């Protein structure tokens, strides 16, 4: 089961090509593109083309899609040249986590030493 794109969702509009984005790559179900407000030298967003507001909204049985998103995050790190030096994959869920766009998305951050704890 996949959700249809939401008409007013900024990421769905990027998927539909209505808003330009610097695409890194695209597969049948996933796209990866540079974040417009990077928080690190490498900051890529990896999203499903189908609209799910957050991880809470991804239906049971979507392990294939979630696995594909994680493998796409790894691919983004490789293509951006940070796979060997290190990168962080972040998934925020709902407002208190800092999720600003209500479309599930993974942040791939790298290119500098990342501090811990985050937030």
Catalytic positions are 105
For 7, half-sphere exposure in the C-beta direction (CA atoms, 13 angstrom radius) is 0
Cis peptide leading into 117, omega within 30 of 0? yes
Q: Distance of alpha carbon 111 from its chain centroid, rounded?
A: 17
The beta strands (E) that lie in 35-86 are given as 42-48
CA distances from 96 to 73, 99, 100 (A): 23, 7, 10
């Amino acid at each position: 089961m996949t959700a249809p794109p939401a008409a007013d969702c900024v990421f769905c509009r990027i998927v539909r090509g209505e808003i330009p984005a610097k695409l890194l790559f695209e597969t049948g179900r996933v796209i990866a593109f540079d974040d417009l407000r990077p928080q690190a030298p490498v900051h890529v967003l990896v999203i499903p083309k189908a609209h799910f507001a957050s991880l809470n909204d991804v239906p049971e049985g979507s392990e294939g899609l979630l696995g594909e998103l994680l493998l796409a995050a790894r691919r983004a790190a490789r293509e951006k040249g940070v796979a060997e030096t290190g990168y962080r994959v972040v998934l925020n869920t709902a407002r208190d986590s800092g999720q600003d766009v209500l479309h599930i998305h993974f942040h791939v951050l790298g290119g500098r030493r990342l501090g811990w704890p985050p937030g």
